[in-house]
Structure 1
Amino acid sequence: MRLFPWDVSFRYKEWRQQLYRMNELLLSVLQGMWWRWRAPRVMALSNGGRHGMNKIDDPHSNLAEVISEAEAITSVNSLGSRQALNTDYLDSDYRSGQLYPFSLSSDLQMATFTLTNSAPMTQSFQERWHMNLNSLMDRALTPQCGSGEDLYILTGTVPSDFKVNDKVAVPEFVWLAACCAVPGGGWAMGFVKHTRNSDIIEDVMVKDLQKLLPFNPQLFQNNCGETEQDTEKMKKILEVVNQVQDEERTVQSQESSSPVSSARSKRSAPSPPEASEGSGSFLGKLMGLIATPFIKLFQLIYYLVVAILKNIVYLLWCVTKQVINGIESCLYRLGSATVSYFMAIGEELVSIPWKVLKVTVRVIRAILRILCCLLKAVCRVLSIPVRVLVDVAAFPMYTMGAVPIVCKDIALGLGGTVSLLFDTAFGTLGGLFQVVFSVFKRIGYQVTFENSGEL
């Protein structure tokens, strides 16, 4: 069980069903012990355990935890100054009722019999409220939250200006908020029931329920994971809620029709015709016999017409009320959607100048960066020595002046190469001629010598 600052909440456990039969067996005993268990509702837990508690009416009281009201009156100072007593409900149709019935809780004493779980209720309202909660818990809330381990319940009231015996404030309506904290498949749902007899339980969103409460509190952290809620499970819960509402309307119609039928039966019993004194004539009796069936027929028609008119008026009243409630709900939702739409548009319109300013600042920053880069480049250019700049500027002139010299050197090289080739060719030819000449010279010398011997 998780306790919250200003309301009571209960963690709905799976093994509640195992205790359900035992709770029903103990129901009669618990009803008799109801007022004897008022002492824990007087107390609030402190740092230590159960016996170290601070009393609401008398913080310095050393009484034990379980004590009857009769014993506490003589021992506790100013008992009843800050909480309701049995005497506050005398001569009234109200009694202290539980917002969350103990039959649905696993901790019978500490969980449900506390001050924060009690409120003035009539018997009929308490029966209908508990019937609604039992139906919702068994058929909708627990089945749609796994085993119920992650189901959290908050209950509370909103007080009205009416007080019982000018002491105990009667709630204007009671409410219940449920949060299924299953990761990735959770949901949150709220329920409201006004204390008027003709009102039925209504389903609301948790954020809408918070707006109905004083000071607009936040019931669950992050609205019970509003962005990750399972819409399919919420649709199934709403289907069961519609069934519970139809069942309650049927019960109300049956309860409202039963007094009408009983009154009709009393009225439909005609009183025996009383004969006037002294009318013993045959003509008077004959007229009475003739008129009696017509009188009864007119009475029957009158009762039927009255009953039909009553039922038609009641039906029209119910239809009108449902239409008005539907129109109010539609107008409220339309107004909420319109306000949300205009708020979103307003936020966007307000944010446009800011966004334009941000873009302008970014453009100016980019221009400043470009100018900074240009200045850096100019500074680097200016930081180069003048001699290097002169050499770079004179390089084309030196290049153009060196072209004739290079061409001359190339021409001299080519001329030397051609001259060398001619020298090589002429030298080779001269050598060949020299060899041929020397060979012919030898041959001619020998021939001449031989010819001279012959002579």
Structure 2
Amino acid sequence: MKAAALALSICIVALPRLLRARLLRDGEEGFAECNEFFPGEQPPEGFAEDSCVKICHQQGGERRFATLYSTRHKLPVYSAFKYKEAAGAEARSWLIEPQLDDPESNIEEMMDEADATNKVDGLGTNQALTEDYTSSNYQPEPLNPGCLDEDDSQKATYALTDTVPVMQGSTGGWSTDVAHIGRRLIQLCGEDLYLVAGAVPSDFKIKDKVSVPEFLWLAACCNTPEAWSMGFIKKMTDESSLEGVTVEELGKRLPGGAQVFTDNCGGDPKNAEQEEILKTISQLKSTQGVAATGPFFWTVRLLAHILIGIVKSIFYVVWFIVKQFYNLVAGGICSLCNGVITYITGVSTVLFNIPCDTLRVVGNILCGFVKIIGRVLTVVGMIISPPVHFLLDIASFPVYTICAVPTVGKDIASGICGSLMLMINAVIGLVDCSFCVVSFGLKRVLQRVIGHTESYDDSQL
């Protein structure tokens, strides 16, 4: 019993981490790692992507399918997936994508809608919830039916971002049609078969929130050298309807004339095989319609619904008890661990700070002593500096005096020599001046004497 409880607890913890729906960011081309679900890794073109987000659904570390989801209509525009062998149908809980409503959330995995109530801000703002279907005539149904996937990947197909509203109690609906088509096409194409299922919204919305599709569509591409394709359309007003069309015609009937496959995947439809598929599905629905009539059938169906409701209620109660017990135990363990870690951290911090504080105090004391010694030396220097300078000046006075004697003698000799030269120059100047005066006087006398004689001789003539 304890082992079973432990295993259940481990599953509760591990399940959310197995389911992941990565929202692609701006700048990433196509669907990034989920491009493998499109032939040639080329997603459809022409679909209006305003208010749409690209989601790459992953589980267990493997990619499962890709979805273009409209947050305006709360409806998947299309989902691309590969056919896989069907596993037994199993009841699953509906999953939501936390980051779609709360971009700041650090929860990267899909989680149970019931667990997200108190963990995701603005839950239901950008995606549909199961409560949107309550008290209405509609129920959610996967656009990419879980019956096409292997057992371990069926969980991912129960994401509410991959569901469309269908009428309650509908039999032989979309999932059944796609299952028959997938089984037949895999026989014709093999592993190169690519499937894209989509929904075209109508003007009617459930609770003015979730758009009811006008019709659902399925496009198949066999990406082989002899490529071929085909398309199917199912009107929501008639659950027994299923129309076969070419991929090119399907693109014309989609909003904006979108192109599902590049070059329409060869554009070579297999009309005979398509008619065979439609005929087989019609016969199966007719057989199911005959078997599903009569009061006995409805009584059995009512009892089955009641029994399933009782089982689901018991399961939800047990699930709630187990979850509360797990949260209580996990919360206690986490609180204990946090307390121990906090205590150890505080003690370690105090012990580590003791030697640091001791070294800091010793360093401050040494710095204080160094400052005191420096200031004492400064004061002593200021006290002894004047007498030392005075003594040095007295001691250096004779030196400066003796050294000045040659300079003074040189200056005196220069002065005496200058005086003698000045006297000599004065005598020479006086002599020269006297000579000039005598010469000038003699010259004047001679001029007069000579001039007088000449004037006398002229008169005699």
Smaller-chain TM-score range?
Answer: 0.3 to 0.5
Whose strand fraction is larger, Structure 1's or Structure 2's? 2
Normalised by the length of structure 2, the TM-score is 0.45
Q: Which has the higher contact order (CA 8 A, sep 6+)?
A: 2
